[in-house]
Amino acid sequence: MNWEEKIERLAARAQAERTPRVDVTQSVLHILASGEAQPLTAAERLWMWLAAAASAVAVPAATAALILYTRSAGPLNEIVEAISWAVR
């Protein structure tokens, strides 16, 4: 029996296992009633969307800025700039 067969047979056997009974009804309703967990308000959700949109714009902008900076600050670029009058 190879490893995969073993695992498949174990998994098949484990299908019949008993799960401990839990009753979370009271605890969940208690948490919700006590206000420990509340849905986000409309304003909070708006801020969340804005933050996500701002991040989505900021990351490509920062990447593009970094690429442009490394290009313009390269040693080869400095030489070309210095002799640009001759090229012209």
Partner 1 sequence: MRGAECLVPEWAALIEAVIAASVRAVAESLPAWRQDTTPDATTADWDDVKLTRRGDSEAYRRLIERHQDRVARMLWRFSRDRRVHEELVQDVFVEAYLSLRGYNGKAPLAHWLARIATRVGYRYWKEKARRKGTEAFDLQEWDEAVGAGLTTGALEPDHAGELLHQLLEQMAPRDRLVLTLRYLEQCDVVETARRTGWTKTMVKVQTLRARNRLRRLIEQSGTE
Q: Is 55 in the site for partner 1 (CB under 8 A)?
A: no
Q: CA-CA distance, 83 to 76, in Å (whole number)?
A: 11
Part in contact with partner 1 (CB under 8 A); list of ranges 39-47, 56-64, 65-73, 77-85: 39-47
Q: CA-CA distance, 43 to 48, in Å (whole number)?
A: 9
Part in contact with partner 1 (CB under 8 A); list of ranges 34-42, 55-63, 64-72, 74-82: 34-42
Q: Is 35 in the site for partner 1 (CB under 8 A)?
A: no
CA quadruple 72, 66, 68, 58: dihedral sign: negative
CB atoms within 10 A of CB 66: 10
Q: Is 45 in the site for partner 1 (CB under 8 A)?
A: yes
Part in contact with partner 1 (CB under 8 A); list of ranges 20-28, 54-62, 63-71, 79-87: 20-28
Q: Which of 1, 19, 20, 22 is nearest to 10 (CA)?
A: 1
Q: Which residues bind partner 1 (CB under 8 A)?
A: 1-4, 6-11, 13-25, 27-29, 31-33, 37-43, 45-46, 49
